[in-house]
């Protein structure tokens, strides 16, 4: 029988899960393939409405969220998660192709701890950022 110490050290080596929200299907597919080569389990959705459904089913280790999406943009999705599962808010990585858009700037300025990547994102930068957020949340 494993001791609690043994099981917690095993947890650190488990495959980590990522919820990827992006309305650009080709980009989401490309990122999913990349992340799966790094042993992440990736679930992709095209907008925040489907993202909320996934969040209600599972607590992901990382939530990669495009800021500009139809039906429910990234800020609205974040607020939905904040209301339903606030413990997941520290797991967000926001991705935007519009870093100077006023609504993006305004939203992110209210989240001083926000982790943000601007498109296009290099593979190395993406993996480093995911590792940073996992470490920050004690998942690595």
**Using one digit for the tens of pLDDT, what is the confidence trace for 82-95?**
999 999 999 999 99
Dihedral angle at the C-alpha atoms of 75, 33, 8, 2, nearest 10 degrees?
140
Mean per-residue pLDDT for 4-8?
39
**pTM for this predicted structure:** 0.88
For residues 39 and 102, give the distance between their C-alpha atoms in angstroms, rounded to a whole number: 36
Cβ proximity of 100 and 68 under 8 Å: no
Is the pLDDT score of 13 beyond 70? no
Kind and range of the H or E element at 28? helix 25-37
- Strand ranges inside the chain, DSSP E: 16-21, 40-45, 62-66, 92-96, 116-118
**Using one digit for the tens of pLDDT, what is the confidence trace for 81-137?**
999 999 999 999 999 999 999 999 999 999 989 999 999 999 999 999 999 999 999
């Amino acid at each position: 029988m494993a001791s609690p110490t043994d099981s917690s050290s095993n947890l650190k080596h488990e495959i980590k899960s990522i919820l990827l929200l992006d309305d650009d299907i080709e980009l989401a597919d490309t990122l999913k393939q990349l992340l799966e080569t790094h042993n992440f389990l990736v679930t992709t959705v095209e907008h925040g409405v489907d993202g909320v459904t996934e969040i209600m089913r599972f607590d992901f280790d990382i939530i990669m969220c495009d800021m500009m999406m139809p039906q429910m943009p990234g800020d609205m999705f974040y607020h939905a998660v904040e209301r339903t599962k606030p413990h997941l808010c520290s797991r967000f990585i926001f991705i935007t192709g519009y870093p100077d858009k006023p609504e993006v700037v305004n939203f992110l300025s209210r989240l001083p701890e926000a982790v943000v990547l601007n498109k296009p994102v290099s593979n190395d930068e993406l993996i480093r950022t995911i590792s940073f957020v996992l470490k920050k949340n004690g998942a690595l």
